[in-house]
Amino acid sequence: MFFFEDLKESEDNSLNISDPNIGNIQDILNSQKTPTSKSGEKDYPEHASDNDPKRAIESGNKLEERRKRDRIRKQISRGRHKAYVEQLENKIKELEKENFRLQNLLVNYRSQDIDKVDNEAKSYIQDCKEERREIIKPFINTETADLSKETNEDLSILFNRRLNKMMNKHKKFLDRSFEMIINNPYPITRYKYWGDFKPEYNTDFEVIKKFHKCTKYQIEDFKEKHNFSLMDEFVASFMPNKRQFDFIKNVALKREYLIKKDYENGIKHLLQAKEIFEKTNIQLLTFVRFFLSSGFISHKQILGSRLKEDLLRSEEPFNTIWNVQVEPKKYSVNMKEDPIIGKLAQRCVDKEIHECSYEYNHYSLPSSV
């Protein structure tokens, strides 16, 4: 500063251009950085050039134009982002509608599944009968039941040749029949969340409450973080308050778990029965192969015996062999006597519907079997 004061006090009141100190000052001014605004843009002050007002105005205009361009660019970017998000949300809505439509188609398809399996099972049985007829065709006239006088075929060889086809058809019949029963043990809707059913439901109400506060973009991360199961999703889908949550947790789910266990016990016995059938089929197969291949009884004797009638006209063994007895049986459940929902049923349910009953056909074998 003392240098400028000395200049002002000079007699001719003019700068000496040849003074070396002037060059140093100019270098210092040029080396100073142009100040910037908070947004990162260069800030050119109005007094950027006291000696050139026109240049200062142009600098200010450029700065304003640059800021305007930045605002337009950011506005365009925000618009594109908003349009992209809206496009994704519309796509999600379309996919959700398509998913719902496909689920309805699947439900309708399953409703026709019983008829389809019934027809399929009948075709498997019919195929097995046709295979049996093909085995005896070279030996017996299937229309008149007379023995053929001339044949070079061997009954045991024909039996072994057709055996795999018969076994495969009957295997499919058993599989489809048992699958049909296991897929439809109850007349009401299928409960997908039963796969996660445990004796005690331990998820806290606060977790269910937080789940409802999640946006659709946060749901998957929330499920992974809290190990959210299908059962949790089922409970959360009711959007219960604390009182309702306690009822679902301590009453409804406990009773439903006992029902599920009874179904599970029945399916376990059903699968054990299927295993018994399969093992016994192998025993029968082994016995027949031994009987045909041993030579103790000739093929002509076998086909001339009463077995011929069984091979040609297989009757249903439901009554002819097993003598299955069918009697109507009524099953009843009184809600008042239920250990879990009994007291609530007395308070909340009309007396006319305390007892639920239905009549089924009861199948049994004679005690002597």
Last-in-domain residue among 57, 82, 111:
111
* Residue 272 · residue 115 · CB < 8 Å: no
Q: Which residue has the tokens 């009968």?
A: 129
Q: How far apart are CA 43 and CA 33, in angstroms?
A: 11
* Residue 354 · residue 335 · CB < 8 Å: yes
Q: Which residue has the tokens 């005896």?
A: 136
pLDDT band at 118 (very low <50, low <70, confident <90, very high): low
| Domain enclosing residue 335, as ranges | 315-369
pTM of the model as a whole: 0.63
Whether residue 340 sits in one domain with residue 361: yes
Last-in-domain residue among 76, 111, 146:
111
Residue 232 lies in a domain: no
Tokens of 348: 């909340």
> According to the model, what pLDDT value does residue 264 have?
92
pLDDT band at 68 (very low <50, low <70, confident <90, very high): confident
Answer yes or no: is pLDDT of 18 > 50: no
Tokens of 119: 């027809």
Answer yes or no: is pLDDT of 39 > 60: no
- Is the pLDDT higher at 261 or at 146? 261
Whether residue 50 sits in one domain with residue 135: no
Residue 6 lies in a domain: no
Whether residue 149 sits in one domain with residue 135: yes
Whether residue 170 sits in one domain with residue 253: yes
Residue 276 lies in a domain: yes
- Is the pLDDT higher at 63 or at 144? 63
Among 52-61, 113-122, 318-327, which range has the highest average pLDDT? Answer: 318-327
Which three-class secondary structure string do you get for 64-112? HHHHHHHHHHHHHHHHHHHHHHHHHHHHHHHHHHHHHHHHHHHHHHHHC
- Is the pLDDT higher at 122 or at 36? 122
Last-in-domain residue among 291, 313, 335:
313
Residue 26 lies in a domain: no
Tokens of 155: 């009954």
Residue partners of 211: CB distance under 8 A and separation at least 6: 219, 222, 226, 228, 232, 236
Answer yes or no: is pLDDT of 288 > 60: yes
Whether residue 128 sits in one domain with residue 45: no
Whether residue 46 sits in one domain with residue 135: no
Average pLDDT, stretch 201-211? 92
For the chain, the average pLDDT equals 78
Whether residue 254 sits in one domain with residue 177: yes
First to last CA, the chain: 125
Q: How far apart are CA 68 and CA 82, in angstroms?
A: 21
Domains identified in the chain, total number: 3
Residue 20 lies in a domain: no
The DSSP string of 333-366 is EEGGG-TTTHHHHHHHS-GGGSEEEEEEEEEE--
Answer yes or no: is pLDDT of 132 > 70: yes
Closest residue by Cα to residue 307 from 292, 319, 285: 292
> According to the model, what pLDDT value does residue 110 have?
60
> According to the model, what pLDDT value does residue 167 have?
86
Average pLDDT, stretch 173-191? 81
> According to the model, what pLDDT value does residue 46 have?
46
Average pLDDT, stretch 75-83? 89
Whether residue 147 sits in one domain with residue 61: no
Whether residue 246 sits in one domain with residue 363: no
Helix (H) or strand (E) holding 327: strand 325-334
Whether residue 252 sits in one domain with residue 178: yes
Strand partners, 140: 147
- Residues present in the chain in total: 369
- Is the pLDDT higher at 44 or at 260? 260
* Residue 317 · residue 310 · CB < 8 Å: no
Q: How far apart are CA 52 and CA 265, in angstroms?
A: 98
pLDDT band at 150 (very low <50, low <70, confident <90, very high): low
Answer yes or no: is pLDDT of 13 > 70: no
Answer yes or no: is pLDDT of 251 > 80: yes
> According to the model, what pLDDT value does residue 7 have?
41
Residue 203 lies in a domain: no
Residue 305 lies in a domain: yes
Strand partners, 329: 360
Whether residue 275 sits in one domain with residue 179: yes
Whether residue 363 sits in one domain with residue 342: yes
* Residue 177 · residue 277 · CB < 8 Å: no
> According to the model, what pLDDT value does residue 23 have?
47
Residue 235 lies in a domain: no
Helix (H) or strand (E) holding 286: helix 253-294
Closest residue by Cα to residue 291 from 107, 155, 174, 198: 155
> According to the model, what pLDDT value does residue 102 have?
84
- Amino acid at site 324: V
> According to the model, what pLDDT value does residue 114 have?
56
285-297 b/e (C-beta count within 10 Å ≥ 16 → b) = eeeeeeebeeeee
